[in-house]
Structure 1
Amino acid sequence: MRERLGDAVYEFSQLHSGVHPQAAVGPHQCPNPLYRRLIEHSYSSNIHVHIGPPAYAVDYNHYWMHCTGDIRTATFRVGDTLVHERGHLTALDHPAVLAIAAKYPDRPGLAPAPRSY
């Protein structure tokens, strides 16, 4: 693909993460592995990257490579701002987020779900 698209095929063109601190389900809750993967994609400890040129790039519209990867439990900064600390989305510690979570004490909350890795 590099011959057709150039060096942009090696770019990490998009980066985002999930926001749900407990986005994990077992096969007994969701038997479809693709749906389980989609749910885990929303996990707040998951940084998701897209490799290759973005879909909106005019020159690439017929060859958009949707190659993705996940980085879990990473530490990630943007400048001096700590965004993820060992997989913890630091925005979940914001007082406004904590105040909203406190309104729903019967819900799972903001603590991360236990992980097996």
Structure 2
Amino acid sequence: MKEIMAVIRMDKMNVTKKALTDAGVAAFFAREAQGRGKGLVNAMLLKGAAKGYEEAAELLGEKGRLYPKRVLSAVVHDDQVEEVVAAIMTVNRTGKPGDGKIFVMPILDGVRVRTGEEGRKSID
């Protein structure tokens, strides 16, 4: 099993939900988050701001702000990963900075609390 975690634009939530359903993912989690990409800020300014230099924090201005995002998390079977990642990419790609990121992580096991089912059965 794998966990697919996707960071997407807020306005892409509905099309992403449909894409996940169409790809066979019936259950997933979504939460609101804030973040920004590394390309939007000078790394030296960030270091200065982290050390408490007020002038560095002031120079960050609008470029240092955090943007609203959604973080989706779905646990899928190994053979579903490529299809699910492709589905998320298809509906979220605009070609502009801020389209998001997708991470795929191994899941060792899962247990359904209600029934005690483990492994593959826990997500079927």
Q: TM above 0.5, one fold? A: no
TM range (shorter): under 0.3
User: TM-score, structure 2 length as denominator?
Assistant: 0.26
Question: Of the two, which has the highest radius of gyration?
Answer: 2
User: TM-score, structure 1 length as denominator?
Assistant: 0.27
Higher helix share: 2
Report which structure shows greater RCO (CA 8 Å, sep ≥6). Answer: 2
